[in-house]
A and B are shown apart, each in its own frame.
Chain A
Amino acid sequence: MTLLHVERAVTGWRRPAHRPVCFTIGRGEIVALIGPNGAGKSTLLNALTGNGARLFSGHIHLTPEARVGVQTQHQPPVAGLPLTGSELLALTEARPDGLPQGLSACLAQRLDALSGGQRQYLALWSILHSPADLLLLDEPGNHLDRTGLASLPAALRTRARQGVGIVLVSHDARFTQACADRAVEVEPLETDDAN
């Protein structure tokens, strides 16, 4: 079943950011959007979620009944907020089953008492394991420590095997090779193209 079909889409904020992009993703697939910094990968992801970026040309068709989960590069602002790991997971209805052992032991602690890597992994887990059909992840490996980064491809694969489609943005070629079924290159729009 197709969850998302992107056909010759050009997106951007004030002006087109990248060349036309085409891809389709169904249940259980992982598609990586790759490309150099500033190519417009995150912008495209923002357009997919309807979070402000514009679609200048082409089509984006998202299956209406698909439940979408979104993880951005922003870390949740939790310093000074009395919120535990368990409470963060409960907000997105994510289950803690399968969390790495070190992290499941931290669930009762306030998030601002954890390390940056632990906090980022929990924030990612809260989206990754929320009830969703399609997950859009922007640089999911950012801010993770070495252990978290090493366990991430397996975590994504497990989720895909459960029937979830995953679109991820990453500039890390090794990471995308380890987990994605295919990669779609997003190329920046040259000035001549824009004209």
Chain B
Amino acid sequence: MPIEWSLQLELFWRPALTGALLAATLALLGLYLRLRREYWAALAYGQIGAAGALGAMALGALPIFGGLAASFAVAGIKHRLEDRLPGAGVFPLLFVLGWSASLLLTANLPGVERLGQALFEGQLYFASPQALGGAAAALVALTAFLRWQGKRLLLASLNPEHFHARKLPAWPIRIGIDMLASAVLALAVTSLGVMGAFALVFIPAWRVFALAPSWRAARIAAPLAALFAYLLAFAAALFFDQPFGPVLALVLGLLALCTTSMGRKAGNDAENVSFQQNPPRL
């Protein structure tokens, strides 16, 4: 392969493709985290993943494996923590702890500043073949999981009593979505940054919930919107030589503001039982 092509692949196409795959995956994941009122999970898993990546780098291991390990560990104990600390505070608590650990590691360990900066700001130019493979695997795994359990996730959120009465197993929902969310976020923060990844989970799902005519349409629109925003932000950050994470968050925020005039007319909202006021009981 000519050296210019090799450089272009390393510096441009591989990171762009990795980010594009992650953007679509995060937006799809965001729909289900919003359905479960767990979008704080995106910040918590992302920040814990960042701390794990920094810790791994300090120990001489591959950051991506450290991020995955830390994120998986937290997903594994999440339900136990929620039982002991009721009140929907577990994810904010994990976010705060992850943020604290990340900054302390960056401040005190030599050689991790650059990775620390990439994790907080997001970056454009570095994506290993493992990162690209991980992003592709994440999209495939999430799509396969939702094909298997997507309908049950909806049923468990809307009618948990019927879900229980049918004796449908709850463990694939409880464990599966947590493990997938933690893995995807841990992978995403290394290229998109913590806030960039959170913005991709939160904003497309939020606006699509308000505007999509059906769940099926929402599942198509959220990844497409995220992909569009990602590509726009990638080009803008490259062109204006700006840090990628903030540009991505800005683009997503502006796109969200552009959709405010597209508000759907709801029926009788006074009669509606608010989705947001009724957390799922599974």
Contact = CB atoms under 8 A, between A and B. Distances in A.
Interface string B123-160: 00000000000000000000000000001001101110
Contact of A70 (B151, B161, B208, B216): B161
Please provide the 6 A-B residue pairs with the shortest distance between their CB atoms, ordered closest to farther. A116-B271, A79-B272, A77-B278, A82-B212, A70-B165, A80-B275
Nearest to A80: B275
Interface in A52-99: 67-72, 74-84, 87-88, 90-92
Given A68-B165, A79-B272, A115-B268, 14 more contacts: A76-B158, A76-B159, A77-B158, A78-B275, A80-B274, A81-B209, A83-B158, A87-B214, A92-B162, A112-B272, A119-B267, A119-B271, A123-B159, A136-B165
Contacts of A83: 154, 158, 214-215
B272 to A, nearest CB: 4
Interface string B261-282: 0001111110111111110000
B276 A88 contact: no
B161 A72 contact: yes
B79 interface: no
B27 interface: no
Contacts, number: 115
Contacts of B157: 77
Q: How large is the interface on B (under 10, 10 to 19, 20 to 34, 35 or more residues)?
A: 35 or more
Nearest to B265: A113
Interface of B: 35, 151, 154-155, 157-159, 161-162, 164-166, 208-218, 264-269, 271-278
Given A87-B214, A87-B215, A91-B151, A71 B162 contact: yes
Interface residues of A, number: 39
10 contacts: A50-B165, A51-B161, A68-B166, A79-B273, A81-B209, A82-B213, A87-B154, A88-B158, A109-B213, A113-B265
